[in-house]
Structure 1
């Protein structure tokens, strides 16, 4: 009988620790890593692309100058079940959840040390939980096969969608082993699931569930997640906002998760998408980039002019040919600032190779944890068991501001505000502080993928006409399930309301 070495079977795989680790590594491929350019028609399914999808579909923060269809249709919520304009592609993560669970189940059966097994199973399940949380954010609950169904892939079974409550419980179950995950690693394991990343996923989930259900228990759960991240001692604020996004500071300790950049595989192309083709480069030439992403002027105008975070947004620039481009002289919508300001966000990489810059793509930051804690404490009207960092900063105007390093909602929001050179907040009503936190999140986290979920949580998701109370179609809080999956499930997969 001829031996076959080119096939993976239960007899030749999941036999060694190396097998288990390879199976875990495969779960990251083409979803958390493998970055590419993004367009609604040709979507590379990874965390970085989801960030752009989230902020453009929020409607009030950014847009893309590539053309009206499909970009503006995405921003202004004109998608339908048959014309998704990019909203349909994230649903491909559905299969990734099952893959992660299969890997976890296989590792459970291996004869390896208990500690290693617990850590690897927790990692596999957490990757699946992360995908499930992303799907829930965009589509609501998705079908979730039982272990029995997964064990018999040849038998076609189409499970129905769980309720929202049941699916949240499913996501929580996939993170049950998060205490077995390692602490944050800024060395060789940077970019892999750790306890801080797991708590960030749950933190976002619980905050939005608290707002959706009105159940304060979710705020309490969110508070526990934020406190665990802070208590870990693994993270800290950088002294200056711009330093977080410097190519010289990759893997800095403000980053909770970023997809590591690698020119040969995991390429970072933010500037290729965002910069106009006449934007100056460190070497004195032109960027020759594609002039896509823009910060809407209406959003730009919500910043305090003294906000140091504006350093990452180019409202004006001078081309290598000496043309001064500004809001008063926009020159062009796409390769100028007619559509809006330029979200440079990351500093320019003098060693950039073609369109590939050397920055890691940041997904979760410690600053978001601090702002989340401020929101949680304001909603619960309580204090934290941990303290915010005490920050001192000299403003653009030369005024020295200090945050108190305490454990109140003000302590946490002011740590972020003071770092940006802004005056600390004091003595506001609960409602006014809630609005201030939403504004602070938008200014701190612009172009980092939080705006859509923030507006939904605050019930301010609009049809692209700005930040105001929701007055259009609440069904747009969720994207439509792709028609292909509806047809495949032969009537067992119900479409979201409104489609």
Structure 2
């Protein structure tokens, strides 16, 4: 619009010049008309392409649009085929952290960066995808700025302002929690620094204890968030998501510090989710990931699929190019993600979750591909079993399937509850789901629906057609819960954090790759940010 106005002014000026140059020749036009034209064509410039406090945040819709923008750079581009691309997505965190755990997943695309990631060979100057998420620290400030601007609005009720501010701050808390898990504390500007972005001030990294308090402060108004909504607000912050994020943070801190008070805080958060009554386990594990069952009540948080900006490319990324065409591959499949055979072999033979993992398949040409006849590392099963996870999408467009990409699930809350209760030796104030399931050999297994650690872990096992655990000591049950978490939530981004947390619990006594170098518990801060802060941002130990 600005350009249109300038062009119009230019044309008017040219017209007036022509009239002025020929005015003596056009003697029959009164001078008065010329003067009128000169006055009438004077235009004032008005800019329509800037958002300022004077023209925005005037209505509730304005505020909601600003909040929606906070989500945009976190859920877009679910595809993760290269660690260097599509890194905005929260789902990229899932696959990168599961591969970096070292014992569960790999990618068959090639040695660099994927094998380096699996083998934990990243360094300060060679991030190998570990450097992709540090930019979230800017997102925290963006969320705070939006919340502050909403606080200055005079056109909405105080109740609505509090709800909108709670959502904006919760998005910031979500990013802060992700960063704390991956990098430890990150710089956190004061309110004065945010109000004066032109001043060159570099906030230092807070302590772990201070940063956990910061995360808690960002969720201080979580009770003002809406209840769980599986309708129009699906995929936006609500009480369940806020409590889920805090539950994870408190479990991390409990293991890091040995402070039982954090286990109790985690217990409170988990119990709030269960007591809400908003969530339930689906009848079968595979039901959770079916396109026909999207927005099911086991989902705590998912990024909604939308071909215009948020696409799920799981099948294209994971399936070999000779996988049977009944799973619509659209533009083809790239044979990427694999579950390591060493991890696959930890499943019990009759575990119904194995139905979502392909250990063998028959090509359209009738060729059987299995461990004895792997065909190829990438386009076969040489590197491992294939994590199919999601079901067929008959309407898939090219590489893009229409499944929502699931980030957080109620099953994790149930297993977290088992872990928490086992660590503090308490019972819950809420009951575990009472599950009855027919096993693969037509037996019936059940869970008791009680309030003990066994009640919660056995709910997950029963849903998978497995016999309940019983008679285990604390250390044995701890190991069983870790194994159950891996089997239940493969490719959902929990394995790295689980191994770190459990190693701390066992005093470094034995969980896979993280034993070699405790400094790998945190990713390195990208060198570019260290340079930008001119010495005011300290690198993580060991880099």
Structure 2 residue aligned with 1:33:
76
> 1:333, CA displacement in angstroms?
0.4
Alignment match of 1:450 (pick from 494, 505, 508): 494
> 1:442, CA displacement in angstroms?
0.3
Give the 3-state SS of the residue equivalent to 2:182 in structure 1.
helix
Contact 1:279 1:286 in 2 (8 A): no
For residues 213-362 of structure 1, the aligned pairs below 5 Å read 213-282=257-326, 288-362=332-406
Q: Which has the larger radius of gyration?
A: 2
Are 1:105 and 2:148 matched, yes or no?
yes
For residues 94-493 of structure 1, the aligned pairs below 5 Å read 94-111=137-154, 112-282=156-326, 288-459=332-503, 467-468=511-512, 470-493=514-537
Structure 2 residue aligned with 1:22:
65
Structure 1 Cα separation of the partners of residues 427 and 298 of structure 2: 23
Structure 2 Cα separation of the partners of residues 452 and 143 of structure 1: 23
Contact 1:250 1:360 in 2 (8 A): yes
Contact 1:123 1:193 in 2 (8 A): yes
Structure 2 Cα separation of the partners of residues 467 and 328 of structure 1: 29
Instruction: Provide the aligned C-alpha RMSD in A.
Output: 1.4
**Once structures 1 and 2 are overlaid, which stretch shifts more, 153-162 or 286-295?**
286-295
> 1:33, CA displacement in angstroms?
3.4
Structure 2 Cα separation of the partners of residues 450 and 66 of structure 1: 22
Structure 2 Cα separation of the partners of residues 264 and 143 of structure 1: 34
Give the 3-state SS of the residue equivalent to 2:486 in structure 1.
helix
> How many residues of Structure 1 are paired with residues of Structure 2 in the alignment?
495
Contact 1:280 1:287 in 2 (8 A): no
Structure 1, residues 413-450: CA drift from partner, whole Å, max 9, x if none? 00000000000011110000000000000000000000
Give the 3-state SS of the residue equivalent to 2:133 in structure 1.
helix
Structure 2 Cα separation of the partners of residues 43 and 495 of structure 1: 25
> 1:283, CA displacement in angstroms?
6.8
Structure 2 Cα separation of the partners of residues 216 and 156 of structure 1: 41
Structure 2 Cα separation of the partners of residues 177 and 263 of structure 1: 33
Give the 3-state SS of the residue equivalent to 2:127 in structure 1.
coil
> Which portions of structure 1, spanning 4 or more consecutive aligned residues, are displaced by more than 4 angstroms?
283-287
- Unaligned runs of 5+ residues in structure 2 are 1-43
Structure 1, residues 243-297: CA drift from partner, whole Å, max 9, x if none? 0011100000000110000122211111111000111132788872010000000
TM-score where L is the length of structure 2: 0.89
Give the 3-state SS of the residue equivalent to 1:89 in structure 2.
coil
TM-score where L is the length of structure 1: 0.97
Structure 2 residue aligned with 1:68:
111
Contact 2:256 2:504 in 1 (8 A): no
* Alignment CA distance shift 1:352-1:148 (3 Å): same
- Unaligned runs of 5+ residues in structure 1 are none
> 1:43, CA displacement in angstroms?
4.2
> 1:468, CA displacement in angstroms?
3.8
Structure 1 residue aligned with 2:125:
82
